[in-house]
Chains A and B, each alone.
Chain A
């Protein structure tokens, strides 16, 4: 289980003016099962007490890996620089007091409509696979996957 709970998701202990994160190798006690197992919570290689921004290229690479993007070595400096500047821009949120504010996921306080359980879509394979890059016998093909 690598399901983090929101309450344990992270603890922003940074009290300084900058938007700092203190616990990067924090092991989160996750366990829906309460079995006390630990997983490394962050994919990023920060160290405990290390203030902050992912200014070193390996961090951007870790995020890129998570997003399945490949960054050219030549562009890494630039990408890291812009990435860091964007994060610095958003850092100003830290100064806003949001204690007790319910997060807003959607602009309106509306609730989900439900659909009747009826089959409305027939076989559209041919049309839907028209622009598929690699198809055989109706299957989409990908390089061999090993479970």
Chain B
């Protein structure tokens, strides 16, 4: 294994290199740091680099590798989305509000991945408070898509997606409230998994919408996603909504065949909203799966379009109150010389939050206010149940559902930032999955005009294993996931 090939290798490949002492964790970490140093100024995927602590962690990993007490992720570098609280390392949610916030605690996901031996390289850029689909609302500036620096990487976990795509790291964490892992994974040509709601603890993840948020892996391969999910999953006493269910061996089931597996194709996911070129790629991908023995079944998800309206009530409503704690009193941005308590609140919040965040707080506040609760919030919660029931009915006829992850490939920077509603449409195929709490996987399905397109697979509750199995099978018989960008130029 040459140093040059290191940063585009999968974690699984790196892990075997570390075990055979072909490479050391310190060399690997240094290689990642070097690539980040060189390429990040153009991409802006990483907003905090922890060079010193990463090398220290890598040394500790090398020790464990030598002792023979290493696990499959020992010594593998990783970047955390800046929504995960990291002890003594700035955690900003890409907001001016938290620009100076340094939590004295780790998120459960962070501590579990730390315990698994990963090396934390730093933190990745995102849309402010995860509210966006383009990583353009960050106070640290936009992240660019490594496939075309004039395009967005998607969002909100755009920094993580871009970092993995650009070879900064084999592993990134993301969070997905309405598509924030899957859509950027699609736009950057990587593998992104949103687990079932409750599979991964939310403790220490800065909340956007509590009943929708879920953290998951962003990787080069499904195999890596399985490894990483294994380390992230499991009940957490500190998160009441984390599920007390046994975590299956995700890697163990990867190689099982998919013959006889029924794949549901929702016609609503191939509507006029979908870019025809994307539709073609998805159909080609499905053909591959059919060749492997899967069977395609037509299904209906009738409330797909209303999912957007439902989501844009529930998510802002929950967010509006989750973000009430940012009041300039205990942490976060505080305005200069407040004249009164109201002045302190209003100025700190208006200065600290960006436009999109404020817009969602307003909508959410409105949806919950007296006189509107029934017509907005309660109504949305009722439609949410209908959406969930649509999926349940569909799963009576199929084992996984397949479709696009996003309506089109990456779009140019600024193309949608003046039109929030157009931006909201980016998540039309992903947010219903959050509303229903189901697992969803996006895997590279090829390029459209040189830009990646993702195939989305949706599974039954807590059945990530099937998604991973199908995804892995697809990656065994295709090489879309091996495509990598030449930074700023055409693909190879």
Do these two chains interact?
yes
A residues contacting B by CB (< 8 A) are 2, 4, 6, 9-12, 19, 21, 23-24, 26, 28, 41-44, 54, 60, 63-64, 66-71, 79, 82-83, 85-87, 89-94, 96, 98, 101-108, 110, 112-113, 115, 124, 127-134, 140, 142-145
Q: Are A89 and B362 in contact (CB under 8 A)?
A: no
Q: Are B198 and A130 in contact (CB under 8 A)?
A: no
Question: 1/0 per residue B324-353: CB within 8 Å of A?
Answer: 100111111110001111111111011001
Return chain B residues, CB-CB under 8 Å to A107.
197-198, 211, 388, 435-438, 461
Q: What's the least CB distance linking B369 to chain A, in Å? A: 6
10 closest Cβ pairs, A-B complex: A107-B437, A103-B381, A98-B382, A133-B334, A42-B371, A127-B104, A104-B385, A68-B345, A70-B346, A101-B382
**What's the Cα separation between A19 and B375 when bound, in Å?**
9
Q: Are B378 and A86 in contact (CB under 8 A)?
A: no
Chain A interface main SS type: loop
Q: Are B382 and A103 in contact (CB under 8 A)?
A: yes
Partner among B343, B350, B386, B424 whose Cβ is within 8 Å of the Cβ of A89? B424
Q: Are B198 and A10 in contact (CB under 8 A)?
A: no
Please give the number of chain B residues whose Cβ is less than 8 angstroms from any Cβ of chain A in the complex: 77
Q: What's the least CB distance linking A91 to chain B, in Å? A: 7
Closest to A126 in B: B104
Q: Are A142 and B371 in contact (CB under 8 A)?
A: no
Q: What's the least CB distance linking A33 to chain B, in Å? A: 18
Question: 1/0 per residue B296-315: CB within 8 Å of A?
Answer: 00000001011011101100
Return chain A residues, CB-CB under 8 Å to B341.
142-145
- Which segment, of B67-75, B164-172, B218-226, B235-243, faces chain A? B235-243
Q: Are B102 and A93 in contact (CB under 8 A)?
A: no
* Residue B358 is within 8 A (CB to CB) of chain A in the complex: yes
Return chain B residues, CB-CB under 8 Å to A130.
102, 104
Return chain B residues, CB-CB under 8 Å to A96.
303, 306, 379, 382-383, 386
Known contacts A10-B373, A43-B370, A86-B312; is A68 also within 8 Å of B378 by CB? no
Q: What's the least CB distance linking A122 to chain B, in Å? A: 13
Closest to B385 in A: A104
Return chain B residues, CB-CB under 8 Å to A41.
370-371
Q: Are A113 and B371 in contact (CB under 8 A)?
A: no
Known contacts A63-B362, A69-B358; is A85 also within 8 Å of B421 by CB? yes
**What's the Cα separation between A41 and B374 when bound, in Å?**
13
Q: What's the least CB distance linking A133 to chain B, in Å? A: 4
Return chain A residues, CB-CB under 8 Å to B420.
82, 85-86
* Those of B73-129 within 8 Å (CB) of chain A: 100-102, 104
